[in-house]
Structure 1
Amino acid sequence: MSRSLAIDHVTRHYDRGDFLALLQRSVAMPTESQEPARLPELQSYLQDFIEPLIAPMDFVSHVYPNPVAGNGPLLVASRIEAESLPTLLIYGHGDVVRGYDAQWRSGLSPWEVVVEGERWYGRGTADNKGQHLINLTALQQVIEARGGCLGFNVKLLLEMGEEAGSPGLRQFCMEHRDELSADVFIASDGPRLSAARPTVFLGSRGAFNFELRVDLRDGAHHSGNWGGLLRNPGIVLANAIASLVDGNGQVQVAGLKPAAMPESVRRALSTIELTPSSPGDPAIDPSWGEPGLTPVERVFAWNTLEVLAFKTGNTDAPISAIPASAIAHCQVRFVAGCDWRTFIAAIEAYLAEQGFPDVRVRQSPGEVLYASRLDPDNAWVRWAIDSLERTTGKPCALLPNLGGSLPNDIFADVLGLPTLWVPHSYPSCSQHAPNEHLLGSIVKEGLQIMAGLYWDLGESGQDVRGEHHENTGLLTVS
């Protein structure tokens, strides 16, 4: 069996409708991790759907309770051919966001796959059931095509709480580090750069949320009697924010910006262009953000400070009064190489220098999403790009990291793995929204891409592993 015949094998699987039937069974399971009452469905997805799916591939699997009580379980499965062979770790999540049944367009349901032309509608089709099922299906087809021998070992980690912030995942991976040990991590989540362009990304930006608050007095005071006599907390806070980030979106606090952009990152982004992927996409503001950077560099290789919400007084029913307080909820999206633990001190010091002693700064509740990135010059990256381009005949988009955030640092830092993400969705998939969907063309190409990757891993994985160990290129912050 040759590489091309293996790809033909998985293509026929798609053309027969076998993958669509599998996806329909998966989507019918309402695995909403944000709903506590859905815990039985989260357990059932792993035990009654995934385990029977992977058992014929000779996986040995175990479903573990989440180390954080009340959250969805995790599955670890392994398929070991020989200890000397390279080992691949595959990751995915079987939980979904809330269905919002009533908000879907007429004729659609979150718990049923409805095909309309290229679009396959259903909750989880894009995030993440469709994506990890593409990978498992391609693996199954390559095993069959190669007569049951892959030429590498496989481990699988599926969680059921990613949409709730992956509670317990870090602790679980720390406790099961040996069980999850591998040579390379390949998974699928998030969108391609565009529907037509195969994409590989190597990590994600981090996300740090914080609050700015000004409390000047108890109660509001009439703006006619006291205007001009009392400081307005809304105005104080607005000016404080304007000192942190100027009117063109440039961050002014040195401690909130990366020291430099690695040359390998700059080279990787030089071939990337941002174009609208659907008619509803907003136009890019070309002069917004850090000067001297391209729009692509600003979103994939730099830090941004965003105001997510700002409140002073009663915004629903304003009255003629000077409010007593003001609050802003803000966020820093940051790249690898930045230590989020220094951000609060940097903001406090800067505001003090700018004359805003009354502005209090505190980290928002919830977990920080860490930044991590594999060096684009890493041997595994070159191998993956070559494989995708051989399969598709298209130039592959290489993103050093997503502009958004994923728990990539857990795999890169805690498990110490080179991380490759090969997404099978696209920017306008309505992920997390009503009418979520996959594109059939991307499903078909995704199956072919993954079949090619798995074939190539069996053929050249040992050589790539050796080259990687000679020059490890992980850049992480924990």
Structure 2
Amino acid sequence: MTDNSLTNAVETQVDPTENDDSAVRVAVERGLPSTIAELCALVRIPSVAWSAFDRATVLQSAEAVAQLARDLQVFDSVQIKQAGIPGGDELGQPAVLATRAARNGRPTVLLYAHHDVQPPGLDGDWDSPPFEPTVRGDRLYGRGAADDKAGVMAHIASIRALVEAAGSDFELGLALFIEGEEEFGSRSFATFLDENRDALRGDVIVVADSNNWDVSTPALTTGLRGNVTLRLEVRTLDHASHSGMFGGAVPDAMMATITLLATLYNSDGSVAVAGLTSHPGQTPDYSEEQLRAETGLLDGVSPIGHGSILSRIWSQPAITVTGIDAPSVDNASNTLSPCITVRLSCRIAPGQKADEAAAALEAHLRSHAPFGAHIDISDVDCGEPFLVETTGWAVAEARKAMNDAWGVAPVDIGVGGSIPFISDLVRVFPEAQILVTGVEDPDSRAHSPNESLHLGVFKRAVLSESLLLARLNRRTGH
């Protein structure tokens, strides 16, 4: 892939009427081809942090990000650091931490993204190799091209534009924190924050790991669902038995599991677990046709739940069976299964505590176990939901920067997914203003085959952040 092909895939959008920020706009425009080339180099590193994958690739990715930070020549310190995982002696995956002290009353901005990625899945499900970045039309395809190596490069490119526009002696304080295990649950995140509290302290925190409304409209994420995941084992027999000889009298574990899982849902598909709450609020217009287009919902298959479609995704709980250990179809025999294991993922609405939701889910499963089936619940993991305080000056500055960069006012959105570590940021830095931004759009397919980044969206996201940093560099009295 050549620089020319990359340059041709990028939209041009320069507004010469904004004289105050023209230097920033020129810097973003000039730096974009090399920024995308650097993003491609990161995408080629298969930095999957999951335990079944090679940890060396995550370290390689961290080293590449650290070198990008050093090349900016603006940080007082650039380090690759690890923190311990609570409950054991294991270290988390390597993260990059770079810091620069504020001067003359300027604020400090903490820029967050993550350099680890989801597993690629089957190569055959991709139209091009997952770790070979490929431009088709106006999109760059590859695992991590959007989530979240584009977020990493948005930060790097924005700092680079600030340097070109304001000089390397700018007075804004910066902390760059690029995590290495977000896709694996951020297991060492809380420890990392506690151990590096002073280095990470900021007046404003920019989390570049979310979505935009569409390819033409920016968004500021103001609400995130939390999550509870657990391992559920259902057992009815101490060994497998012949299904013909005993079926009809003996409940097998598969039957018990199916019956139990069905109790989690109402007839319309909404969640039927007492104690799981919803969050009231208005949502933008979003049609069923748009839902079908963005999700690939098949003709004849109806959406589930009640209320506005976006309230179902942003503000109501949802439960998904994400995995099941059971006899495969190819290995199926005429036996009654003694034990079935499933993985449950429960998304919880903003405003509910994760431990309360976990207790409600466990109570439901235990009280609804059919036929006296024995159930065991283990490997419970909780992440808190989040609501952004939107009245601060940093939010106003971010909205203005987005409007100026995109030419369209940003939309406040909720996100059905979870970014649980934000609750840790709030715990450690309660006075900081948190901005959840993103480089993705509804067609990015993060976590899925053919993940991609819209290059026009990326450019506007970089310009938004660059304008924000330049304006904060001129701000005092935070």
Contact 1:273 1:296 (C-alpha < 8 Å) held by counterparts: no
Contact 1:45 1:94 (C-alpha < 8 Å) held by counterparts: no
**Other-structure match for 1:96:** 117
What is the Cα deviation at residue 423 of structure 1? 0.8
Contact 1:218 1:324 (C-alpha < 8 Å) held by counterparts: yes
What is the Cα deviation at residue 456 of structure 1? 3.1
**Other-structure match for 2:103:** 82
Kindly provide the amino acid, as one letter, of the partner of residue 8 in structure 1: R
Question: Hey, what's the Cα distance between the residues in 2 that align with 1:221 and 1:101?
Answer: 35
What is the Cα deviation at residue 136 of structure 1? 2.0
**Other-structure match for 1:299:** 313
**Other-structure match for 2:247:** 227
Secondary structure of 1:451's counterpart equals helix
Kindly provide the amino acid, as one letter, of the partner of residue 254 in structure 2: G
**Other-structure match for 2:207:** 187
How many pairs does the alignment contain? Answer: 451
Moved more, 95-104 or 217-226: 95-104
> Superposition RMSD on alpha carbons, in Å?
3.3
What is the Cα deviation at residue 88 of structure 1? 0.8
Moved more, 30-39 or 391-400: 30-39
Question: Hey, what's the Cα distance between the residues in 1 that align with 2:406 and 2:154?
Answer: 16
Establish whether residue 385 from structure 1 lines up as the match of residue 404 from structure 2: no
Kindly provide the amino acid, as one letter, of the partner of residue 353 in structure 2: D
Residues 60 and 271 of structure 1: CA distance in aligned 2, closer, same or farther (over 3 Å): farther
What is the Cα deviation at residue 130 of structure 1? 2.2
Per-residue CA shift, 1:4-52, capped at 9, x if unaligned?
A: 303431343156x2323332443344434342243551452244x2342
Kindly provide the amino acid, as one letter, of the partner of residue 227 in structure 2: A
Moved more, 221-230 or 198-207: 221-230
Question: Hey, what's the Cα distance between the residues in 2 that align with 1:320 and 1:113?
Answer: 47
**Other-structure match for 1:444:** 459
Establish whether residue 62 from structure 1 lines up as the match of residue 82 from structure 2: no
Contact 2:268 2:304 (C-alpha < 8 Å) held by counterparts: yes
- Please give the residue correspondences for 1:236-247 in structure 2 after superposition, counting only pairs within 5 Å: 236-247=256-267
Secondary structure of 1:422's counterpart equals strand
Per-residue CA shift, 1:307-343, capped at 9, x if unaligned?
A: 2345666644434443333443322111332223234
Question: Hey, what's the Cα distance between the residues in 2 that align with 1:320 and 1:401?
Answer: 44
Contact 2:366 2:375 (C-alpha < 8 Å) held by counterparts: no
Contact 2:106 2:474 (C-alpha < 8 Å) held by counterparts: no
Question: Hey, what's the Cα distance between the residues in 1 that align with 2:245 and 2:121?
Answer: 48
What is the Cα deviation at residue 299 of structure 1? 0.8
Residues 227 and 216 of structure 1: CA distance in aligned 2, closer, same or farther (over 3 Å): same
Establish whether residue 282 from structure 1 lines up as the match of residue 290 from structure 2: no
With normalisation by structure 1, the TM-score equals 0.82
- Please give the residue correspondences for 1:52-451 in structure 2 after superposition, counting only pairs within 5 Å: 52-55=70-73, 57-68=74-85, 69=90, 71-82=92-103, 84-98=105-119, 103=124, 108-148=128-168, 150=170, 152-202=172-222, 204-258=224-278, 260-261=279-280, 266-267=281-282, 269-270=283-284, 275-276=290-291, 281-282=296-297, 288-289=304-305, 291=306, 293-310=307-324, 315-350=329-364, 356=370, 358-360=372-374, 362-365=376-379, 367-416=381-430, 417-451=432-466
Contact 2:62 2:96 (C-alpha < 8 Å) held by counterparts: no
What is the Cα deviation at residue 182 of structure 1? 1.0
Residues 78 and 448 of structure 1: CA distance in aligned 2, closer, same or farther (over 3 Å): same
Contact 2:130 2:142 (C-alpha < 8 Å) held by counterparts: yes
What is the Cα deviation at residue 198 of structure 1? 0.9
Establish whether residue 457 from structure 1 lines up as the match of residue 472 from structure 2: yes
**Other-structure match for 2:68:** 50
**Other-structure match for 1:469:** none
**Other-structure match for 2:14:** none
Contact 1:134 1:443 (C-alpha < 8 Å) held by counterparts: yes
Residues 406 and 118 of structure 1: CA distance in aligned 2, closer, same or farther (over 3 Å): farther
Per-residue CA shift, 1:242-293, capped at 9, x if unaligned?
A: 33322322222221224x42xxxx24x235667259677226976512x3x2
Per-residue CA shift, 1:89-147, capped at 9, x if unaligned?
A: 001222334567954867x5555443333122344321222222122212221232124
With normalisation by structure 2, the TM-score equals 0.82
What percentage of residue pairs aligned between the two structures are identical?
Answer: 21
Kindly provide the amino acid, as one letter, of the partner of residue 115 in structure 2: G
Residues 236 and 26 of structure 1: CA distance in aligned 2, closer, same or farther (over 3 Å): closer
Residues 296 and 147 of structure 1: CA distance in aligned 2, closer, same or farther (over 3 Å): same
Residues 311 and 43 of structure 1: CA distance in aligned 2, closer, same or farther (over 3 Å): closer
Secondary structure of 2:426's counterpart equals helix
**Other-structure match for 2:47:** 31
What is the Cα deviation at residue 344 of structure 1? 4.8
Secondary structure of 1:230's counterpart equals coil
Unaligned 5+ segments in structure 2 are: 1-17
Question: Hey, what's the Cα distance between the residues in 2 that align with 1:340 and 1:361?
Answer: 22
Kindly provide the amino acid, as one letter, of the partner of residue 26 in structure 2: H
Secondary structure of 2:261's counterpart equals helix
Kindly provide the amino acid, as one letter, of the partner of residue 93 in structure 2: G
Secondary structure of 2:352's counterpart equals coil
Contact 1:201 1:402 (C-alpha < 8 Å) held by counterparts: no
Secondary structure of 2:198's counterpart equals coil
Residues 357 and 140 of structure 1: CA distance in aligned 2, closer, same or farther (over 3 Å): same
Secondary structure of 2:417's counterpart equals coil
Secondary structure of 2:372's counterpart equals coil
